[in-house]
């Protein structure tokens, strides 16, 4: 354990992030990059982009609250130190996605109104389930909920969004690439730290599996509601771009139903595999639709 945790040093984080892939970035993107003109000039697409970005801010605010709360719940100092770096990562994500809302035209004095008006209620419930465990000081359940369930979902969603925006909106794709790089460390910590703790505390499995079932329910409901409200025009872009291919689906031409299906399949597939690796059995949620 000590050997694995020793890798999570502040020094290594500095070398990888601020001095590495984030060097010379401004709010996570290149200094001369801006939002795509096609997006800013299309009212429907712009509205959909603001709504989608609000969900990212909501998710990252939850991750910030969870990772900072878990610092005090962690049973050892190497874990506290890692979670301190994750807390800064999550705070950065909140900041860069909030900045994107400003770039899309949201006024600073209207930010909180836009977030509360547009936040997906299922995503809010998803966050509440996780934060309940964190507030109770339950480190194992908190890390499974945060670094396996939430980060696993974010990892797949960000990868899909990055693939879809690579050609159409390089500025946003660049922003997403930095967050994906951060998520790699977060899911790595989740699996490596919890993999050993679950072996030491098998009595925790049923409670954690119930939490995973509840979080998965709200996650699928989030996707279902998000895609049912997305206008086709906002999802389907112009052209058939091979660069937008993701898990066999062309994101440039996919319908909302196809997008929802590929996301649910990839996220759920990943959950089952990740949970299996750390000794937990995936629990299927009730159908959210």
Tokens matching residue 157 = 């969603």
By CB under 8 A, tell whether 8 contacts another protein.
yes
Q: Look-up: residue for tokens 């507030």? A: 135
Scanning 61-69, 91-99, 194-202, 224-232 for contacts with another protein by CB under 8 A, the matching segment is 194-202
Q: Name the pairing type of β-strands 29-30 and 25-26.
A: antiparallel
Q: Name the pairing type of β-strands 249-250 and 29-30.
A: unpaired
Q: Is the dihedral of CA 156, 161, 162, 164 positive or negative?
A: positive
The site map against another protein for 212-251 (x = CB under 8 A) is: ---------------------------------xxxx---
Return the exposure string of 171-187: e unless at least 16 CB atoms fall within 10 Å of the residue's CB, then b: bbbbbbbbbebbbebbb
State the minimum distance, in angstroms, from the CB of residue 48 to another protein.
25
Q: Are 172 and 100 in contact (CB under 8 A)?
A: yes
By CB under 8 A, tell whether 201 contacts another protein.
no
By CB under 8 A, tell whether 282 contacts another protein.
no
Judged by CB under 8 A, the number of residues near another protein is: 29
Between 184 and 286, CB nearer to another protein = 184
Q: Return d(Cα 40, Cα 268) in angstroms, integer.
A: 33
Site for another protein in 125-164 (CB under 8 A): 155
Q: Return d(Cα 34, Cα 43) in angstroms, integer.
A: 17
Residue from 25, 42, 68, 192 in contact with another protein (CB under 8 A): 192
By CB under 8 A, tell whether 189 contacts another protein.
yes
Q: Beta partners for 30?
A: 25
* Binding interface with another protein (CB under 8 A): 4, 7-8, 15-16, 19-21, 155, 181, 183-185, 187-189, 191-192, 195-196, 199, 245-248, 273-274, 277-278
């Amino acid at each position: 354990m000590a050997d694995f945790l020793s890798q999570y040093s502040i020094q290594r984080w500095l070398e990888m992030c601020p001095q590495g892939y984030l060097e010379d970035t401004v709010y996570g993107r290149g200094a001369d990059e801006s939002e795509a003109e096609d997006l800013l000039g299309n009212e429907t697409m712009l509205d959909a982009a603001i709504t989608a970005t609000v969900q990212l801010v909501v998710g990252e605010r939850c991750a910030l609250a969870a990772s900072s709360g878990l610092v005090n719940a962690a049973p050892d100092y190497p874990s506290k130190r890692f979670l301190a770096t994750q807390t800064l990562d999550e705070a950065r994500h909140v900041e860069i996605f909030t900045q994107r809302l400003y770039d899309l035209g949201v006024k600073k004095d209207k930010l909180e109104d836009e977030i509360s008006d547009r936040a997906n209620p299922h995503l809010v419930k998803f966050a509440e389930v996780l934060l309940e465990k964190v507030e109770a000081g339950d480190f194992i359940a908190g890390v499974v909920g945060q670094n396996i369930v939430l980060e696993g979902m974010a990892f797949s969603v960000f990868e899909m969004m990055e693939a879809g925006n690579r050609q159409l909106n390089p500025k946003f794709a660049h922003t997403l690439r930095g967050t994906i790089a951060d998520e790699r460390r977060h899911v790595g910590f989740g699996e490596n730290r919890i993999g050993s703790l679950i072996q030491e505390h098998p009595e925790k499995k049923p409670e954690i599996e119930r939490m995973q079932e509840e979080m998965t329910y709200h996650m699928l409901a989030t996707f279902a509601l998000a895609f049912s409200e997305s206008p086709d025009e906002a999802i389907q872009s112009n052209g058939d771009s091979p660069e937008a291919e993701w898990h066999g689906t062309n994101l440039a031409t996919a319908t909302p139903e196809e997008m929802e299906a590929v996301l649910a399949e990839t996220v759920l597939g990943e959950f089952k595999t990740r949970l299996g690796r750390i000794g937990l059995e995936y629990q299927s949620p009730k159908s959210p639709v």
